[in-house]
Chains A and B, each alone.
Chain A
Amino acid sequence: MTGAGPGLALRAKVLLAVLAVALVAAPLYTSDYVLSILILCLYFAYAGQAWNIMTGFAGQLSLGHSLYVGIGAYVAAMFFVKFGVNPWLGALGAIAACAVIGAIIGVLAFRFGVGGVYFAILTIAFAEFTRIGFDHLEWLGGSGGLFIPVASRHTMDFLRLRGPPVMFFYIALALALVGLWISAALLKSRFGYYWQAIRENEEAAQALGINVFRYKLYAVMISAALTAVAGVFFAFYYNTLFPEQIFSMGRSIEIILGPIIGGLGTLAGPIVGAFVLTPLADLVTELMELLGIDTPGVKQVFYGVCLLVVVVFLPNGIWPAIAKRLGFPPPGGHS
């Protein structure tokens, strides 16, 4: 297990305390620009955490998590825009919708023994045809997009999630922490043990009494439900939803790069990955602007290079490589 726990060295405790204070106080000393990057980092840390449960813990590769972000976003936005339901209640609807969709995909795949890359293709397929469906769903704006009315920057309506970036920063921070806590709790429980066993060897897992079908289904449903909340946040932070963007394959990839770069299947991986990749990507964008290079796709090329470097030099991700040096127990063991 990684992250918080009794096995931490003093170094790790000090580091965690400093980081915690730095993050909580961030709005006091950062510019709006830096704050917006921090919000993105926290958003990806949370979404990555949710994806990591399904793929990192349970070994079921999803390349279509934009599906759950999109459904979560659209459901909460629909409740808000069409019926005036506040996003906190809307989030419950989003969670339920995504859990059901996750269950449908899971049942379809696992009943018919679809696994590995074929399962991954199935997840892409569902995201893609949902995108096409929403493109034609005129009631929710179709391809023209769905817009959530923006309030003035100075109002602070926590219940309706209308407020300044600082509010979203603290919500994102809370999300990332709650996501970490849920992941840690799951990993320590029967779920965590069973998921990892299934990931490592399905046949042996089954021989040890694990209902493989059921536990894989739990993994997909929990991951989908948690990702839905990321979608709700996305909707109310950006206020605009386009099927073309939110359900795109690129969005799915953005979510999974953090955990992969940070350390697949570890608790700290999604957080480390998000905090490394997000600012770097922005830095590159800035750098290109400074140098006057206006080539589209530079960000993607950069992502690709980052992936290559990590895969070649740190095949298990950044976190497993640095955990011990920072005084954290090495990932892999629970006990």
Chain B
Amino acid sequence: MNLLEVRGLSKSFSGLRAVSDVSFNVPEHSLFAMIGPNGAGKTTCFNLIAGVFPPDEGTVALGGRAIIGFRPDQICHAGIGRTFQVVKPFPQMTVLDNVIVGALNAHRDVASARREARGVLERLHLDAKADHLAASLTLPERKRLEVARAMATRPRLLLLDEVMAGLRPTEVDEMVGVFRRINAETGLTILLIEHVMRAVMALAQHIVVLHHGEKICEGAPEAVVRDPAVLECYLGEGAV
């Protein structure tokens, strides 16, 4: 069954078509990746799904329910958690409090939200930093905090926007392991935008490729990276 259904999504910014007629399905419990060169429209696509701005055309459905026109907080209630490409921690709050804010989305009282938050921090190997101010974290830690907060909202679908960027290869492998385990243990569906191909190839069961706002290809990772259109958009015409 498809958890996320995106149909004919389009968005222009003052004449520039950032996303053009993009359609794809994300099946429940899957690990999906969206790749494409810089400016391909990946983050815009995420923002359309997450309700940051409305699309010009197209529909988005989560679990068969249309979520177009929802505000970002309503989308979160509906079951989509997201991270931001440029991390947005709450710097003057502790790491634990950052995650409690997310956990309160799914918990009635602060005490149970705190328990949930501690569990999420453990999963993401941030528990040692729980009582530090978020402002004191390194960039890789901030990326993990971003993921922890989104996960604490108890989403059905997790949108990860370049959470591996800037990480060392060993850190990438560690994150890959974390997402694999979460997906395997909880069945959480994950859709990630990623430039780090090491992570994409290790994680994704299915890849959607965007270029100039259009979907140019999708399929299994091995097939996608050999697709002539994909090679062309990444490496130029001469490479094919």
Report which A residues bind B (CB closer than 8 A): 188-190, 193-194, 196-197, 200-201, 203-212, 265, 332-335
Neighbour of A209 across the interface among B76, B89, B96, B131, CB < 8 A: B76
CA distance in complex: A253, B13 (Å) = 43
Q: In the assembled complex, which residues on chain B have CB atoms less than 8 Å from the CB atom of A211?
A: 71, 73
| A193-B73 contact, Cβ under 8 Å, with A200-B91, A335-B114 | no
Are A194 and B100 neighbours in the complex by a CB distance under 8 Å?
no
Q: Which residue of B lies closest to A200 (CB)?
A: B90
Contacts of A197 in B (CB 8 A): 90, 93, 101
B93 lies within 8 A of A209 (CB): no
Q: In the assembled complex, which residues on chain A have CB atoms less than 8 Å from the CB atom of B72?
A: 203, 206-207
Q: Which residues of A contact B131 (CB under 8 A)?
A: 333, 335
Q: Known contacts A207-B84, A335-B97, A335-B131; decide if A193 and B71 are in contact (CB<8 Å).
A: no
In the complex, what distance in Å separates the CA atom of A211 from the CA atom of B105?
A: 11
Chain A to chain B: the 3 pairs with minimum beta-carbon distance, closest first:
A200-B90, A209-B76, A209-B105
Q: Choose one: B92, B150, B153; the contact of A332 (CB below 8 Å).
A: B92
Task: Specify which chain B residues have a CB less than 8 angstroms from the CB of A333 in the assembled complex.
Answer: 93-94, 96-97, 131, 133
Query: From A202, which residue of chain B is reached at the shortest CB distance?
Result: B88
Does B221 belong to the interface (CB within 8 Å)? Answer: no
Provided the pairs A194-B101, A201-B88, A206-B72 are in contact, do residues A188 and B93 lie with their beta carbons within 8 angstroms? no
Closest chain B CB from A48 CB (angstroms): 19
A10–B171 Cα gap in the complex (Å)?
43
Complex contacts, A209 vs chain B, CB 8 Å: 73, 76-77, 102, 104-105, 153
| Contact sample, A vs B, 22 pairs, CB 8 Å cutoff | A188-B110, A190-B110, A193-B100, A193-B101, A193-B110, A194-B101, A196-B97, A197-B101, A200-B89, A201-B89, A203-B52, A203-B88, A205-B90, A207-B50, A207-B72, A207-B73, A208-B149, A209-B73, A209-B76, A333-B96, A334-B96, A334-B100
In the complex, number of A-B residue pairs with CB atoms less than 8 Å apart:
92
Q: Which residues from B are CB-within-8-Å of A334?
A: 93-94, 96-97, 100
B residues in contact (CB < 8 Å) with A:
50, 52, 71-73, 76-77, 81-82, 84, 88-94, 96-97, 100-102, 104-105, 110, 114, 130-131, 133, 149-150, 153
**How long is the Cα–Cα vector from A14 to B228 in the complex, in angstroms?**
75
Q: Contact: B97 with A193, CB < 8 Å?
A: yes
Q: Looking at the assembled complex, report how far the CB atom of A224 sits from the nearest CB atom of chain B, in whole angstroms.
A: 24
- Pairwise interchain contact B104-A190, C-beta atoms closer than 8 A: yes
Q: How far is the CB of A212 from chain B (nearest CB, A)?
A: 7
Q: Assess A206 versus B114: contact at CB under 8 Å? Given A194-B104, A196-B97.
A: no
Whole-angstrom CA separation of A209 from B92 in the bound complex: 20
Asked if B76 and A207 make an inter-chain contact with CB atoms under 8 angstroms apart, the answer reads yes
Contact A332 B101 (CB under 8 A): no
Q: Which residue of B lies closest to A206 (CB)?
A: B72
What A residues does B84 contact at CB under 8 A?
A: 203-204, 207
| Bound CA span A204–B76, Å | 11
Q: Are A208 and B110 in contact (CB under 8 A)?
A: no
In the complex, chain A residues whose CB is within 8 Å of the CB of B52:
203
CB-CB under 8 A for A332 and B110, given A201-B88, A208-B102, A211-B73: no
- CA A197 – CA B149 in complex, angstroms? 12
Q: How far is the CA of A190 from the CA of B101 in the complex (A)?
A: 8
Minimum CB distance partner of B98 in chain A:
A197
Q: How far is the CA of A201 from the CA of B77 in the complex (A)?
A: 19
Asked, given contacts A188-B110, A200-B91, A204-B88, whether A210 binds B100 with beta carbons under 8 Å apart, the answer is no
From residue B182, how far is it (CB to closest CB) to chain A in Å? 18
Interchain CB contact under 8 A, B73 and A206: yes
In the bound complex, residues from chain A placing their C-beta under 8 Å from that of B100 are 193, 334
Is there an interface contact between A189 and B110, defined as CB atoms closer than 8 Å? yes
Are A201 and B97 in contact, CB atoms less than 8 angstroms apart? Answer: no
Given the complex, which residues of A lie within 8 Å of B91, measured CB to CB?
A: 200
CA separation between A334 and B153, bound complex, in Å?
19
Contact A208 B101, beta carbon cutoff 8 Å: yes
Known: A189-B110, A203-B72, A207-B50. 11 other contacts (CB 8 A): A193-B100, A196-B92, A197-B90, A201-B89, A204-B89, A207-B82, A208-B101, A209-B73, A209-B102, A335-B97, A335-B131
Q: Say how far B217's CB is from chain A's closest CB, in angstroms.
A: 29
A259 to B184, CA, bound (A): 49
Q: Chain B residues near A193 (CB, 8 Å)?
A: 97, 100-101, 104, 110
Q: With contacts A190-B110, A193-B110 known, is A210 near B101, CB below 8 A? A: yes
Which residue of A is nearest B106, CB measured? A209
- Docked-complex contact B110 and A200, CB < 8 angstroms: no
Residues from chain A with a CB closer than 8 A to the CB of B71 are 206, 211
With the chains together, A190 CA to B153 CA distance in Å?
A: 14
Contact call A332/B93, Cβ cutoff below 8 A: yes
User: Which A residues are CB-close (under 8 A) to B77?
Assistant: 209
From the candidates A200, A212, A335, name the one contacting B73 in the complex (CB within 8 A).
Answer: A212
Among B73, B76, B93, B94, residue most surrounded by chain A Cβ atoms (within 10 Å): B73
Cβ–Cβ contact A335 & B96, under 8 A = yes
Whole-angstrom distance between the Cβ of B70 and the nearest chain A Cβ: 11
| A332 close to B94 (CB less than 8 A) | yes
Q: Nearest chain A CB to B193's CB is how many angstroms away? A: 15
| Across-interface contacts of A190 in B (CB, < 8 A) | 104, 110
Q: How far is the CB of B128 from chain A (nearest CB, A)?
A: 14
